[in-house]
Amino acid sequence: MVKTVMFDLDGTLAHFEFEEFFRAYIDKIVENLSDVVEPKAFMPALMASVEAMVSCEDPEMTNRDVFVADFFPRIGRSESELMPLFDAFYLDDDGFPGIKQTLGVTPHPSARAMLEGLIEREYEVVIATNPIFPLEAIEERMRWAGVHGLPYALVTSYETSHFCKPNIKYYEEIMSILGKSPKECLMVGNDTWEDLIAGDLGITTYLVEDFVLDRDTVRRDPDYRGSFDELVEFLLEENFL
């Protein structure tokens, strides 16, 4: 019986195209740090350091540890010099929060009520977003989606996670933290690779098709699929699995 429901965030609970969001993010962070980091050097260094997080297999290093060790040497600047600027970017209204206006994000009217209903029925709910961002950036996107401030069992972020999607160790770490087996978990997401790979562990999967990301590397067919509205109906069933 399912006891834990994991939700991807971007393109699943937060209704926007991930690629549009990531382009807006890159433009905004390059703009905000252009006075201290040459834009032509910044972008390739950032992308290389994201790839370093995704590919890392060291369980002793958080994703943040990996990012710090990889990024700052690439641009020849110290963590103590630049990290406060990163922190300010994620908090300032003209920084990361301003991306919401660029994208025109509005919450899905049923998203929060769906999550509240699951929590009231004593399901553990996890925000299982790819932990390549700091917690503040994840919580900001949760605000955009109208799903912030709920008593989640876990929100994965780069400060505490040691693996990224599509590494199945990312899902193993979540289950280890919560003390759950694959048969007790459902993964809900819109990415045919990063989210459906959870099925390799025996986790039940639901593909949300509104903003589906099909990378032509489908790991396996989802156990269930449908629109976000159909997902809401599915999860409203008293014992959906």
Taking only the tens place, the pLDDT of each residue in 37-64 is: 888 888 899 999 999 999 999 999 999 9
Do 191 and 76 share a domain, yes or no? no
Q: Is 76 exposed, middle or buried (0-12, 13-18, 19+ CB in 10 A)?
A: exposed
Q: Do residue 13 and residue 124 come from a single domain?
A: yes
Examine the fold and report which residue of 53, 77, 101 is the final residue of a domain before the chain moves on.
101
Write the CATH number for 135. 3.40.50.1000
Instruction: Give me the chain's average pLDDT, please.
Output: 94
Output DSSP code: residue 152: -
Return the axis-axis angle of helices 18-32 and 79-91, rounded to nearest 10°. 120
Last-in-domain residue among 101, 120, 150: 101
Is the same domain home to 86 and 198? no
Shared domain for 199 and 112, answered yes or no, is yes
Q: How many domains does the chain have?
A: 2
Q: Which domain holds residue 202?
A: 4-17+106-236
The string of pLDDT tens digits covering residues 69-106 is: 999 999 998 999 999 999 999 999 999 999 999 999 99
pLDDT at 239: 75
SS3 (DSSP) at 238: coil
Asked if residue 126 and residue 200 are part of one domain, the reply reads yes
Name the pLDDT band for 224 (thresholds 50, 70, 90).
Answer: very high
Question: What pLDDT does residue 220 have?
Answer: 75
Residue 215 has pLDDT above 80, yes or no: no
Q: Are residues 128 and 61 in the same domain?
A: no
pLDDT > 80? residue 236? yes
> Are residues 141 and 230 located together in one domain of the fold?
yes
pLDDT category at 241 given cuts 50, 70, 90 is: confident
Res. 155 pLDDT band, cuts 50 70 90: very high
pLDDT over 80 (residue 218): no
On whether residue 79 sits in a domain, the answer given is yes
Question: Does residue 159 register a pLDDT over 90?
Answer: yes
pLDDT for 217: 65
**Residue 134 and residue 86 share a domain:** no
pLDDT at 5 over 90: yes
pLDDT classification of 219: cutoffs 50, 70, 90: low
| Together in a domain, 32 and 70 | yes
Domain end point (choices 68, 101, 134) = 101
User: In terms of domains, do 76 and 96 share one?
Assistant: yes
Task: Find the helix or strand (DSSP H, E) in which 61 lies.
Answer: none
Written as one string, the DSSP assignment of 11-36 is: TTTB-S-HHHHHHHHHHHHHHHTTTT
More confident residue, 237 or 123: 123
Same domain, 156 and 223: yes
Asked if 35 and 86 sit in the same domain, the reply is yes
Q: What letter would DSSP give residue 5? A: E
Domain membership flag for residue 241: no
* % of the chain beyond a pLDDT of 90: 86
Residue 11 lies in a domain: yes
Give the model's pLDDT for residue 28: 94
Looking at the whole model, is its pTM more than 0.85? yes
**Is 110 among the domain residues?**
yes
Is the Cβ–Cβ distance between 88 and 95 less than 8 Å? yes
pLDDT of the residue at 37: 87
